[in-house]
């Protein structure tokens, strides 16, 4: 048997009441959003005939999610972070703003306060010896196409086990390992040495993984490096690059892969690398 009570006037008045629309106090925007979200939820309970057991299972899952600190992890998994980016892109398109380097999601694993270096930084503490050495360099340009001396490039990525410092369940990484803020030189150039990261997987057995499994999905990301690029009087760019060749590049549980964010990786021998990279000196 299905009953639908959503359209009843007393239920509509109940929604107004619980959303604070009958109160002179509070925040109007919060009331508006709460009214909409609660209305959509009430309607879904009606339409899908959601049982009390299903509802309380959802409440218990939300408690587990919060206890695990995973609201910010399930969010990209459910595509919300990507959807918000698509909206920002659409707003930019409307305003005629072009983004030569596409934005993509921040993810939940940034930590503020990384060590600041001038021009060049080594990101890894040298203890993850399974990693292939990675060198990345480039120039930060403003929207006028001119280099931006002194621009700030914040970079963070995980190790070869897929663990980020500050979120490492093994506790084996130093603080701010594989996290740095690099200040671009007088020609807008930055450069770093690190190791090639592995892909990331959501913690096994966690609330986020349980949901993804119930949806018939996985919780894996391809290998990637996060970047914030900022400068005075400029909008901050939040983006990532993927490591070319990763089999999950088009199967990212967080939907962060975008055309233009998969740079070509050049593989070099140690000998070739010594000639190509003078790490502390000129930008070869």
Binding site for ligand MBD (CB under 6 A): 73, 76, 105, 107-109, 200, 221, 254, 256
For Fe ion (CB under 5 A), the number of binding residues is 1
Closer by beta carbon to ligand MBD, 107 or else 188: 107
φ, ψ of residue 43 to 5 degrees: the values are -65, -40
Angle among Cα 228, 180, 243 to the nearest 5 degrees reads 65
Residue 76 near which of Fe ion, ligand MBD, none (CB within 5-8 Å, type-dependent): ligand MBD
Three-state DSSP state, 67: helix
Residue 180 near which of ligand MBD, Fe ion, none (CB within 5-8 Å, type-dependent): none
Assess 107 for contact with Fe ion (CB under 5 A): yes
> Contact at 8 Å (CB) between 220 and 257?
no
Three-state DSSP state, 11: helix
207-214 vs 52-67: helix crossing angle, rounded to 10: 140
Closer by beta carbon to ligand MBD, 190 or else 200: 200
> Contact at 8 Å (CB) between 22 and 36?
no
Minimal CB distance to ligand MBD: which residue? 107
> Contact at 8 Å (CB) between 240 and 225?
yes
Distance CA 103, CA 132 (A): 27
Residue 241 near which of Fe ion, ligand MBD, none (CB within 5-8 Å, type-dependent): none
Closer by beta carbon to ligand MBD, 179 or else 189: 179
Segment near Fe ion (CB under 5 A), from 105-113, 132-140, 183-191, 260-268? Answer: 105-113
Closer by beta carbon to ligand MBD, 96 or else 247: 247
> Contact at 8 Å (CB) between 229 and 181?
no
Closer by beta carbon to ligand MBD, 147 or else 203: 203
Residue 163 near which of Fe ion, ligand MBD, none (CB within 5-8 Å, type-dependent): none
| Residue entry with tokens 């999601």 | 105
Subset of residues 8 to 47 that bind Fe ion, contact rule: CB under 5 A: none
Distance CA 240, CA 255 (A): 12
Residue 190 near which of Fe ion, ligand MBD, none (CB within 5-8 Å, type-dependent): none
Binding site for Fe ion (CB under 5 A): 107
């Amino acid at each position: 048997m299905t009953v639908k009570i959503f359209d009843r006037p007393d239920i509509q008045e109940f929604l107004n009441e619980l959303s604070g629309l009958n109160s002179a106090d509070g925040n109007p925007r919060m009331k508006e959003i709460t009214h909409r979200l609660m209305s959509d939820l009430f309607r879904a309970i009606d339409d899908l005939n959601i049982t009390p057991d299903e509802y309380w299972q959802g409440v218990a899952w939300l408690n587990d999610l919060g206890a695990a600190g995973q609201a910010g992890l399930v969010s990209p998994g459910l595509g919300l972070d990507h959807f918000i980016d698509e909206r920002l892109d659409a707003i930019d398109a409307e305003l005629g703003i072009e983004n030569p380097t596409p934005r993509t999601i921040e993810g939940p694993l940034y930590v503020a306060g990384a060590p600041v270096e001038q021009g060049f930084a080594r990101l890894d503490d040298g203890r993850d010896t399974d990693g292939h050495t990675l060198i990345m360099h480039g120039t930060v340009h403003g929207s006028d196409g001119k280099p931006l001396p002194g621009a700030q490039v914040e970079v963070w990525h995980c190790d070869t086990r897929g663990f980020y410092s500050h979120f490492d369940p093994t506790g084996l990484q130093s603080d701010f390992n594989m996290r740095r803020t690099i200040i671009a030189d007088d020609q807008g150039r930055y450069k770093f040495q690190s190791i090639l990261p592995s892909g990331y997987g959501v913690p096994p057995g966690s609330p986020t993984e349980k949901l993804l499994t119930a949806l018939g999905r996985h919780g894996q990301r391809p290998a990637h490096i996060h970047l914030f690029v900022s400068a005075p009087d400029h909008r901050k760019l939040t983006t990532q690059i993927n490591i070319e060749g990763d089999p999950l590049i088009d199967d990212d549980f967080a939907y962060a892969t975008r055309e233009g964010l998969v740079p070509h990786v050049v593989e070099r021998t140690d000998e070739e690398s010594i000639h190509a990279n003078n790490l502390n000196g000129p930008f070869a």
